[in-house]
């Protein structure tokens, strides 16, 4: 393998010097999650947009691993095949995942082993949004927003046939993936079809699955308990696709779409267990523009999802099941009533039903929510201000429920706890004020302050049972109050002739933070004839502080060479004492890139430092360095066809993601190579 990597590097260097030089022109990319259509230097906090070649290069089996190189974003991984983004140390119910601006409805926020119900193979663009604009999505976006864009309902009319196809093979899981999408425009209609497929084997890892620290601290865990050189039961099979139809009229469009996603993947902690999920989604969209001198745009969106998820403990035995069905509606008006800078007002509401039919884990419950928001832009000379306001109402109705508590001691009798039917309601109000000022032609200073409130999610309130896929027992608290925080952030940006730099320090003070903490209590549960000692985790309100920074920049070197650098740091403290768990460590990265004619190449080095600021019952995580190589080449005589090769973990280091619940039981993949082709027509 080392010889192969060396030959790839030598070959790429030869191609680099053989090609002629050319200048590059970059076009500004619209941000669809930003309704005011502000340019990049007018948004108070950083926004990262991933599309085109970068989207191709970052492709992965999970959304978290695709985005974990973005400053401020980490991955709550469950092996390489499952992972949800963590933003500034905040995960689960503090990071909203959207599909075309509407909430992605699944149970990925309930537990780290639950995959998101959408594969990025179907996407055209992925946006990471932080700042006052996230107020449109409620206190549940206090960490940030991930918006996955596809064109099943097309935003603009394109006459004729356009499309894209993608095929790749390789990676630490020896996986294959393929996708195709086609858009046909005729007679004011756009028709969309897409299909994707992913198939990967168990993940190859550089050594023992279990960390040395865990094996030394708990005799139950041998170093190879979940595999050596190969991670047991870590396969993944995904199939999905969608269709859509959009009709365009003089000042807008209307359209429908249907999407289906099916996925089966192994649960690593049990060799013969797997998760089987299926999601069906229907969307409707109406958009009308230029309705008057003051109303720039009217948008009406409806999204309905039918989701089911089975945790199988063998070919036919269901351990847990999850059903979540619901509808979300959003009405939004973009206007210029108060100023030429424009504003947005909107109303969103929805209703969902969660249910289970198997062993007790959480009660069946219904959820209703209504949210009203406003976002206004105001320009005063060279200063631009953004003011946001939102009020949410949440109502929960949970059925009567009897849990399975396990035994307090080994060999003891397993008990239970009964809960009466419960109704809970919450009001949450959030607001933000941001400013952006041009210091001069090169420097920009942005400042943002916000107050955010988030109602507890139904899992934080009502869950009370064993989850064998995670080997934990999780307890909700029906007396939880709203999560409340005050935050401040400054962003200093510089740009000059293609060179750029920005840094964003921030501070968040939570008077009430809903933390999931290890209580230190263990309960014993019988499983397959054996008693297992499982830790009890409790959702609880605590005071907490989050503070840190992100930075990124690029320098144009001689010729067509470029140098990029980035980094992030977050510290999260329980003000009652100690650090919060699963907080990512300091990360620093840099890369050297080269582009000439049809060839693009980059070599990147990212170092994740050791994490020693740990929460109760946590173990320290060692540092690691990820060396990666990416090459893209537009094939001659084949217009619109790009071939790529990507190498990951070229130093073959042992990598553990501190934000993951499984970080001491599961390694990330070994040194690997992936190759593929993407074509446009």
pLDDT in tens, 482-536: 999 999 999 999 999 889 999 999 999 999 999 999 998 888 887 776 778 888 9
Residue labelled with tokens 């060999």: 411
pTM assigned to the model = 0.88
Strand partners of residue 324: 307, 354
Overall domain count for the chain: 1
Mean pLDDT of 56-62: 84
Q: Is the pLDDT of residue 14 over 50?
A: no
Please tell me the predicted confidence (pLDDT) of residue 533. Answer: 84
**Rounded CA separation 543/292 (Å):** 48
**Rounded CA separation 458/540 (Å):** 13
Q: Please check whether residue 242 lies inside any domain of the structure.
A: yes
Collapsing DSSP to helix, strand or coil, 357 comes out as coil
Residue labelled with tokens 């991984």: 77
Q: Please check whether residue 591 lies inside any domain of the structure.
A: yes
b/e map 338-364, b = 16+ CB within 10 Å: eeebbbbbbebbbebebbbeeebbbbb
Contact 280, 306 (CB under 8 A): yes
The residue ranking higher by pLDDT, 131 or 549, is 549
| DSSP secondary structure of 429-441 | EEEEEEEEEE-SS
Q: Please check whether residue 52 lies inside any domain of the structure.
A: no
Q: Is the pLDDT of residue 376 over 70?
A: yes
Q: Please check whether residue 150 lies inside any domain of the structure.
A: no
Please tell me the predicted confidence (pLDDT) of residue 244. Answer: 96
**Rounded CA separation 278/200 (Å):** 18
Please tell me the predicted confidence (pLDDT) of residue 29. Answer: 45
Per-residue pLDDT tens for 616-656?
889 999 999 999 999 999 998 888 899 999 999 999 999 99
**Rounded CA separation 512/507 (Å):** 15
563 burial via Cβ count (<10 Å: 0-12, 13-18, 19+): middle
Tokens of 447: 């400042």
The H-assigned helical ranges of 303-397 are none
Q: Please check whether residue 10 lies inside any domain of the structure.
A: yes
Tokens of 325: 């069905």
Mean pLDDT of 363-392: 90
Residue 547 pLDDT level (bands cut at 50, 70, 90): very high
Domain that residue 235 falls in: 2-29+156-680
In the 3-class helix/strand/coil scheme, how is 97-126 assigned residue by residue? EEECCEECCCCCCCCCCCCCCCCHHHCCEE
> Per this entry, what is the length of the chain?
681
Q: Is the pLDDT of residue 245 over 90?
A: yes
Residue labelled with tokens 């263990």: 522
Q: Please check whether residue 210 lies inside any domain of the structure.
A: yes
Please tell me the predicted confidence (pLDDT) of residue 32. Answer: 65
Residue labelled with tokens 């289906």: 260
Q: Is the pLDDT of residue 37 over 70?
A: no
Q: Domain of 192: which CATH number? A: 2.40.170.20
Please tell me the predicted confidence (pLDDT) of residue 152. Answer: 94
Please tell me the predicted confidence (pLDDT) of residue 140. Answer: 75
Please tell me the predicted confidence (pLDDT) of residue 582. Answer: 94
Q: Give, for 676, the enclosing helix (H) or strand (E).
A: strand 672-680
Collapsing DSSP to helix, strand or coil, 395 comes out as strand
Q: Please check whether residue 318 lies inside any domain of the structure.
A: yes
Q: Please check whether residue 99 lies inside any domain of the structure.
A: no
**Rounded CA separation 106/608 (Å):** 30
**Phi, psi dihedral angles at 578 (to 5 degrees):** 95, 180
End-to-end CA distance of the chain: 36
């Amino acid at each position: 393998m080392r010889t192969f990597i060396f030959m790839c590097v030598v070959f790429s260097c030869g191609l680099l010097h053989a090609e002629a030089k050319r200048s590059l022109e970059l076009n500004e990319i619209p941000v669809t999650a930003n309704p005011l259509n502000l340019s990049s230097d007018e948004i108070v906090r950083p926004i990262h947009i991933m599309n085109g070649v970068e989207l191709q290069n970052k492709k992965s089996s999970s959304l978290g691993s695709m985005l974990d190189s973005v400053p401020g974003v980490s991955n709550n991984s469950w092996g390489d095949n499952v992972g949800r983004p963590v933003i500034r140390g905040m995960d689960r119910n503090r990071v909203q995942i959207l599909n075309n601006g509407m909430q992605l409805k699944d149970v990925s926020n309930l537990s780290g082993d639950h995959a998101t119900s959408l594969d990025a193979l179907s996407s055209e663009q992925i946006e990471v949004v932080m700042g006052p604009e996230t107020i449109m999505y409620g206190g549940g976006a206090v960490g940030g927003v991930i918006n996955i864009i596809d064109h099943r309902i097309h935003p603009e009319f394109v006459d004729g046939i356009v499309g894209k196809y993608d095929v790749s093979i390789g990676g630490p899981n020896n996986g294959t993936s393929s996708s195709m999408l086609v858009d046909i425009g005729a007679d004011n209609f756009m028709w969309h079809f897409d299909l994707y497929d992913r198939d990967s084997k168990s993940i190859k890892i550089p050594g023992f699955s279990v960390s040395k620290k865990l094996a030394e601290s708990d005799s139950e865990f041998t170093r190879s308990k979940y595999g050596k050189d190969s991670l047991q039961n870590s396969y993944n099979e995904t199939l999905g696709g969608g269709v859509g139809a959009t009709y365009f009229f003089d000042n807008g469009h209307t359209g429908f779409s249907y999407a289906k996603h099916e996925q089966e993947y192994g649960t690593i902690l049990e060799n013969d267990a797997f998760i089987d999920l299926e999601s069906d989604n229907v969307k409707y969209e109406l958009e009308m523009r230029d309705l008057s001198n003051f109303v720039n745009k009217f948008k009406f969106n409806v999204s309905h999802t039918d989701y089911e998820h089975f945790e199988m403990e063998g070919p036919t035995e269901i351990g847990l099941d999850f059903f979540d069905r619901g509808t979300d509606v959003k009405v939004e008006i973009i206007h210029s009533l108060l100023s030429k800078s424009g504003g947005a007002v909107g109303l969103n509401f929805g209703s969902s039903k969660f249910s289970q039919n198997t062993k007790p884990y959480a009660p069946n419950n219904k959820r209703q929510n209504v949210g009203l928001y406003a976002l206004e832009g105001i320009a005063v000379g060279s200063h631009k201000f953004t003011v946001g306001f939102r009020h949410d109402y949440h109502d929960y109705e949970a059925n009567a429920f009897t849990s399975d508590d396990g035994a307090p001691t080994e060999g003891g009798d397993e008990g239970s706890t009964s809960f009466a039917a419960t109704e809970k309601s919450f009001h949450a109000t959030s607001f933000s004020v941001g400013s952006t000022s041009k210091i001069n032609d090169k420097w920009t200073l942005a400042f943002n302050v916000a107050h955010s409130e988030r109602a507890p999610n139904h899992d934080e309130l009502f869950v009370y049972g064993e989850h064998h896929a995670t080997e934990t027992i999780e307890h909700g608290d029906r007396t939880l109050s709203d999560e409340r925080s005050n935050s401040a952030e400054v962003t200093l940006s510089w740009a000059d002739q293609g060179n750029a730099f920005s840094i964003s320090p921030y501070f968040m003070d939570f008077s009430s933070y809903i933390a999931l903490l290890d209580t230190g209590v263990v309960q014993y549960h019988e499983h397959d004839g054996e008693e297992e000692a499982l830790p009890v985790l409790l959702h609880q309100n605590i005071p907490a502080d989050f503070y840190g920074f992100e930075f990124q920049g690029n320098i144009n070197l001689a010729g067509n060479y470029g140098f990029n650098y980035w980094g992030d740091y977050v510290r999260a403290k329980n003000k009652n004492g100690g650090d919060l768990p699963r907080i990512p460590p300091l990360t620093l990265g840099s890369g050297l890139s080269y582009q000439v004619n049809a060839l693009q190449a980059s070599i990147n080095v990212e170092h994740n430092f050791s994490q020693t600021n740990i929460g109760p019952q946590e173990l320290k995580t060692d540092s690691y360095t990820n060396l990666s190589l990416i090459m893209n080449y537009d094939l001659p005589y084949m217009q619109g066809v790009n071939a790529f090769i990507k190498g990951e973990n070229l130093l073959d280091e042992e990598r553990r993601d501190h934000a993951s619940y499984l970080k001491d039981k599961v390694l990330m993949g070994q040194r690997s190579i992936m190759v593929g082709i993407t074509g446009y027509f």
